[in-house]
Amino acid sequence: MKNPYLLLVLATLFWAGNFILSKAVSAEVPPIALAFWRWGMAFLLITVVSFSKFKRDWGLIKKHLPVLSLISLFGVAAFNTLIYLGLQHTTALNSLLLQSFFPIVVALLSFVWMGEKLRALQILGIVISLLGTLLLVAQGKLSTLLSAAFNQGDLWVMVAVFCYALYALLLRYRPPVHAFSFLIATFGLGTLMLLPFYLWEHQYVQKVHWQWNAIMTVAYLAVFPSLVSYLFFNEAVRKIGANTAGLFSHLVPLFGSIMAIVFLGEPFFRYHAIGAAFTFAGIYLVVANRSSKALK
């Protein structure tokens, strides 16, 4: 699969499932345990499949351990753990609202850190897609946004967004190793970083209640939002850059709304259609502008 835009659509679809399922099992699986077992299982799966590639690339991986450690810290160990922590204290409305600022954080960090300038159509696309996301989150009512109260959970989510923006930008420094070798290295390092926090949580906060739905949720998180989505997202960033790839994060609340309608039986309203139209229109502006630049 070579189309980076299709890779991003699928990655965000699986990430939307991550939010719904992790919220569903929050009472049975505490946040750090959920992150630890998710990445630990993903690490084992990808290692079994691709250890030969990792062994071949070990020299480069060892040479680039400092940058790989930073990538693992922000994108693996920190991001989802902070999201899971945030969902313990905040509402779905607030978490989706804050997630919507990911492309803006990426764009700002790209400008401050790397001096990348935003084109006019790229800015317009970000604004339009953000409006679509806010419309979905607010359920078509401005009063819903204005009345949103923020708490410590929102702070966790906002820090998570910042961490993932750093991860997206750091991907440009990844060593030239096979994609599977890169995942083995970052998943393994991220799991090791989480281990002491998981042991502390297990001993002093809450143990995991391994019911069937918790096991299936961890299995889903290990395969789709972890292995598949990260592989797709990393490849897309390599091809089109963090700024454009980051814009597709607005699809997460869109897909999340669709999943809630399909799987949870929530009603479909006109604002869903309008919000989706704004989201896709903004993304289309950026993608079309990038394609036209590439042809010149």
Q: Which two tokens stand for residue 104?
A: 């803006």
Q: In this predicted model, which residue has the larger pLDDT, 21 or 206?
A: 206
Interatomic CA distance for residues 33 and 22, integer angstroms: 11
- pLDDT tens, residue by residue, 259-284: 767 776 667 677 767 877 887 777 77
Domain residue ranges in the chain: 4-291
The answer, yes or no, to whether residue 58 has pLDDT greater than 50, is yes
State percent of the chain over pLDDT 90.
40
pLDDT value, residue 27: 83
What secondary structure does DSSP assign to 34-72, as a single string? HHHHHHHHHHHHHHHHHHHHHHHTHHHHHHTHHHHHHHH
- pLDDT for 294 equals 45
* DSSP assignment letter at 27: T
Q: DSSP assignment, residue 223?
A: I
| Phi, psi dihedrals of residue 125, rounded to the nearest 5° | -60, -40
pLDDT confidence tier of residue 296, bands split at 50, 70 and 90 = very low
Average pLDDT over every residue of 95-109: 72
Place of tokens 């965000």: 12
Over its C-alpha atoms, the chain yields an Rg (Å, rounded) of 19
CA-angle at 218, arms to 216 and 221, nearest 5°: 110
Q: pTM (2 decimals)?
A: 0.80
The Cα-based distances of 12 to 27, 137, 237, 254 in angstroms read 25, 16, 13, 9
179-228 residue pLDDT tens = 999 999 999 999 999 999 999 999 999 999 898 989 999 999 999 999 99
Vertex 116, ends 114 and 118: CA angle to 5°?
A: 150
